[in-house]
Amino acid sequence: MEGKIMKVLLINGSPHAKGCTFTALNEVAKTLGENGINANIVHVGHKDIRGCTGCNKCGETGKCVFNDSVNELAPLFAECNGIVVGSPVYYSSANGSLLAFLDRLFYSTSFDKTMKVGAAVVSARRTGCSSTFDVLNKYFTISGMPIVSSQYWNEVHGNKAEDVIKDEEGMQTMRVLGRNMAFLIKSIEFGKERYGLPEKEKKIFTNFIRG
């Protein structure tokens, strides 16, 4: 593990490049950097991203049929050790463009995501953080990705970036998240080198309704 560059991809799902969500993600990124992890923030929330149409062409070609930021960022997702997804709260859920992006990113990429580390970060003026947090974490739990926690749910509050900076508890939560993520990534890399990944079974697909 010594000398190996470990990377985290941070996705800003807000339409505002330098707003509240970015401010939270940037605090995580700075802390990751201080702990020896290469952190890269990318902005997707302002882009025109259409939803998945269920065409399943990605199963044939290895990439999404819609050639946009999903295909552009898929290689970065493949090579990273962890991913942080940040979103503002819209009607107690995540930004619709971000959800379309994540649906297609996770569905169209066939590489093994097992033991890549995942974390969600949410930003709200007031409420709706918990439900948004739950939605984002589901992408990780269906993919064999351990979720990183902090000292509180990974959320900040404010109506503009300056407000988030004043949210001392929220910013501290981001720093703790960054340190916990760095530790977990390093621990998993050590475990992979020493013990390997968990044994894989052939996946079983079943339906809830029997004919």
User: Per residue of the chain (211 residues), what is the pLDDT tens digit?
Assistant: 667 899 999 999 999 999 999 999 999 999 999 999 999 999 999 999 999 999 999 999 999 999 999 999 999 999 999 999 999 999 999 999 999 999 999 999 999 999 999 999 999 999 999 999 999 999 999 999 999 999 999 999 999 999 999 999 999 999 999 999 999 999 999 999 999 999 999 989 888 776 5
Inside any domain, residue 202 = no
Place of tokens 């097992």: 114
Inside any domain, residue 203 = no
Inside any domain, residue 154 = yes
CATH no. for residue 133? 3.40.50.360
Inside any domain, residue 53 = yes
Inside any domain, residue 138 = yes
| Residue 190 to residue 196: CA distance in whole angstroms | 9
Inside any domain, residue 206 = no
Domain that holds residue 51: 7-195
CA angle 180, 183, 186 (to 5 degrees): 150
Inside any domain, residue 209 = no
Decide if 99 contacts 135 (C-beta within 8 A).
Answer: yes
CA angle 81, 87, 88 (to 5 degrees): 160
pLDDT of residue 1: 62
CA angle 38, 40, 46 (to 5 degrees): 170
pTM: 0.95
Inside any domain, residue 24 = yes
Domain count, the chain: 1
| Residue 9 to residue 83: CA distance in whole angstroms | 5
Q: Which residues fall within 8 angstroms of residue 157, CB to CB, at 6 or more apart?
A: 123, 124, 125, 126, 129, 163, 164, 167, 170
Decide if 41 contacts 8 (C-beta within 8 A).
Answer: no
pLDDT of residue 209: 73
Decide if 171 contacts 30 (C-beta within 8 A).
Answer: no
